[in-house]
Amino acid sequence: MSIKTIILILTTTMMMNGCKGQTQAPVVRPATQANRFYTGDAKELSEEVDSFLALHRNGAKYSNVAAVIVPHAGYYFSGNVAASAYMAIAPKKQYKRIFLLGPSHHEWLDGASVNTEADYYATPLGQVKVDHETAVALTNTNNISNTDGTDKTDSVFRYRPEAHDREHCLEVQLPFLQRFFTLHSSLITSTEVPPIVPIVISTNDYNKLKRLSHVLKPYFTDENLFVISSDFSHYPSYEDAYEVDARTGKAVESGNVEEFIAAINANARSGKRNLHTSACGEFAIITLMLMLDKQYEVKHLMYQNSGDIDNHDHNRVVGYHSFAILRNGNNGSGQTRTNTDFVLSDADKGMLKNIAFNSIRDSLDGKPIAQPTLTSYLSPLTSKCGAFVSLHKHGHLRGCIGHFGEDYPLHEIVAEMARAAAFEDPRFMPVTRDELNDLDIEISVLTPMRRIQSLDEFELHRHGIYIKKGYRSGTFLPQVADEVNWTKEEFVGHCSQDKAGLGWDGWRDAELYVYEAIVF
């Protein structure tokens, strides 16, 4: 045997078995959609994604986000809506892994494909690690034995390379995740995206979708985030898209998978011209919804379609929704957990009191309300929530005005309500300059609202109640319970009757929301 033959044999053996003491190069799935769905220039990409995220810096942040439903079109069209979902996640929240679920746009799988080959997914911003162990574990689920003792794979999860090679629906989420975690790096322990589990779903077999959800359910815990990638209506007119997407979105928000499927079917029968689908990620959404129960709340975040972007073509549009799925449940003590991670530090409270005082003083001087200097757009003072400002003089009420809603940043609401309490409360004469130094300012900041389905979720003295039915609504602040000797039912009954004008029992078929008040 020649030396050349021996070297060839040794080289082949080393390639097959791996060279001792050396590790094989990691498998990296390339950024196939760069310069297609998003720019391939790293600097431009960072700036573009950051600009989208910044649009939602004042939105409510939730510490118990279990999943988000996010669009996956080109960033020019759907980047704004996608950012609204990621920015709903509380900055301090950490996840062990992220499950990415989306549809196959190129291959029919009659099941699901999880990428067990790639060690990393690349984007122009760097590489995101794949949780290879979890990916493999999914493909090994539901194995059964033949009569001869050998194993026969009967898993709904397999690995099909062609399902991932050209697919964009998962890849386009990665730059958003990369920039989101980087922007929050000062608040969490790592700037890296948690390892991902990339799953492409393509089957209309309801039993298989149930099996998918059954396998994934053990991972649907507080330590993991599920990102469901889906656009909504494809190619109807602008007006038809709004109608179709409203029906689909309402069904998603219900959390009821049967209602969602019924909405999809109703849209298909509607006769809308050029409506190819109501949701391209329909099967991924169904898989998610099959894992939901009463402890989850689906919160709609934003809707646009491509026709809303710079007055783009209204004859043929694609719809984009975003949702956050919140895990409410309880904390083991029987007490319902709040669904927000909203906290005001002593410094935040001090700044708000200064804002309130300066607003009154500047109004007396004939000046406009000044805008405060905030060190970060992640400041709680930029969150959109309601607030009441009460003025007291020598222990007596001198004015109280509030705004109930989630439509303006907190610092703006406090400034405006302080001015209104001083000069617009019809029960009192306007505050004068001589009184300014005798005023005590009390601020009640209302945390973002959470819808409840039962009075069992309402806690007297802790929660305020907001009742809404049609155009009628009313609220009692939490501290009202400290001033009266009412039961929970009386508290809600009086609010329904005296504030919302719905009658004593009108709350029973109305929408109920709870919130808390941070009073200082």
pLDDT tens column, 12-66: 343 444 444 456 899 999 999 999 999 999 999 999 999 999 988 877 788 889 9
Asked if residues 384 and 58 have their Cβ atoms less than 8 Å apart, the reply is: yes
Ordered DSSP codes for 129-164: EB-HHHHHHHHTTT-EE-TTS-EE---SEE--HHHH
Task: Give the other-Cβ count within 10 Å of 56's Cβ.
Answer: 22
CA distance 142 to 311: 50
Asked if residues 72 and 231 have their Cβ atoms less than 8 Å apart, the reply is: yes
- Exposure of 417 in the CB half-sphere (CA atoms within 13 A): 27
Place of tokens 């000046």: 367
CA distance 234 to 316: 8
Which pLDDT band, with edges at 50, 70 and 90, does 2 fall under? very low
User: Residue 4: left (phi > 0), alpha (psi -120 to 50), or beta?
Assistant: alpha
**pLDDT at site 490:** 92
Residue 81, token pair as written in the block: 């809506």
What does the chain come to in residues? 520
pLDDT tens column, 206-233: 999 999 999 999 999 999 999 999 999 9
CA distance 221 to 227: 13
In 3D space, the residue among 46, 32, 52, 35 whose CA is nearest the CA of residue 309 turns out to be 52
CA distance 510 to 468: 6
Residue 202 pLDDT > 60: yes
Question: How large a percentage of the chain has pLDDT more than 70?
Answer: 87
Judge residue 1's burial from the number of C-beta atoms within 10 Å of its C-beta, 0-12 exposed, 13-18 middle, 19 or more buried: exposed
Judge residue 415's burial from the number of C-beta atoms within 10 Å of its C-beta, 0-12 exposed, 13-18 middle, 19 or more buried: buried
Judge residue 189's burial from the number of C-beta atoms within 10 Å of its C-beta, 0-12 exposed, 13-18 middle, 19 or more buried: exposed
How far does CA 381 lie from the centroid of its chain?
20
**pLDDT at site 391:** 92
| Residue, of 229 and 388, whose pLDDT is higher | 229
Residue 354, token pair as written in the block: 């200064």
- Exposure of 23 in the CB half-sphere (CA atoms within 13 A): 3
Residue 374 pLDDT > 70: no
pLDDT tens column, 430-469: 999 998 888 999 998 888 777 888 888 888 888 889 898 8
> Amino acid identity of 408?
Y
CA distances from 365 to 359, 361, 369, 372 (A): 10, 6, 11, 18
Residue 133 pLDDT > 70: yes
pLDDT tens column, 307-348: 988 878 899 999 999 999 998 753 333 333 444 556 777 888
Judge residue 422's burial from the number of C-beta atoms within 10 Å of its C-beta, 0-12 exposed, 13-18 middle, 19 or more buried: buried
CA distance 511 to 473: 9
Query: Strands 472-476 and 464-469: what pairing?
Result: antiparallel
Q: Is the dihedral of CA 501, 507, 509, 515 positive or negative?
A: positive
Asked if residues 406 and 349 have their Cβ atoms less than 8 Å apart, the reply is: no
CA distance 467 to 88: 24
